[in-house]
Amino acid sequence: MDVLQPPGWPRPRGYSNGVAASGRQVFVSGMIGWNADGRFESDDFAMQARQALLNVVEVLREAGAGPEHIVRMTWYVVDKCEYLAASADLGAAYREIIGKHYPAMTAVEVRALIEDRARVEIEVTAVVADSV
């Protein structure tokens, strides 16, 4: 996996401008902040994001992949201000679960998510390098 950083561009913080990778592609649908039983344990944004990230990692594990294989993340949030206000807790949860791996990332504020209690939904693409 190669991080794409055009010369002279400032280095982004918490994400990469682009990533090039080859291998087995893994697509994880939007994960929300409910547990394995489909129940929300919190309405707190950071707590839901933490659970959504744990859910992403669990699905990746089924494909023999881990957080280090993520090449793209899209975050759908219902409230931009809530997302920004949670940045410290969100960053801590991200580093705990994903580590210091920063793929290409986009965050989009949306009017609503399908599950009424959901505050965030995270979609992921991962690439597991081909064996040599």
What is the band of 132 on the pLDDT scale with cuts at 50, 70, 90?
low
pLDDT tens column, 80-120: 999 999 999 999 999 999 999 999 999 999 999 999 999 99
Measure Cα distances from 127 to 28, 44, 47, 114, 131 in Å.
11, 31, 27, 27, 12
pLDDT for 1 beyond 90:
no
What pLDDT shows up at residue 17?
85
List domains and CATH numbers for the chain: 27-128 (3.30.1330.40)
Whether this model's pTM surpasses 0.75: yes
What pLDDT shows up at residue 119?
98
pLDDT tens column, 69-90: 999 999 999 999 999 999 999 9
pLDDT tens column, 4-54: 889 999 988 888 888 888 899 999 999 999 999 999 999 999 999 999 999
Helices (H) and strands (E) in the chain, counts: 3, 6
CA distance 2 to 14: 16
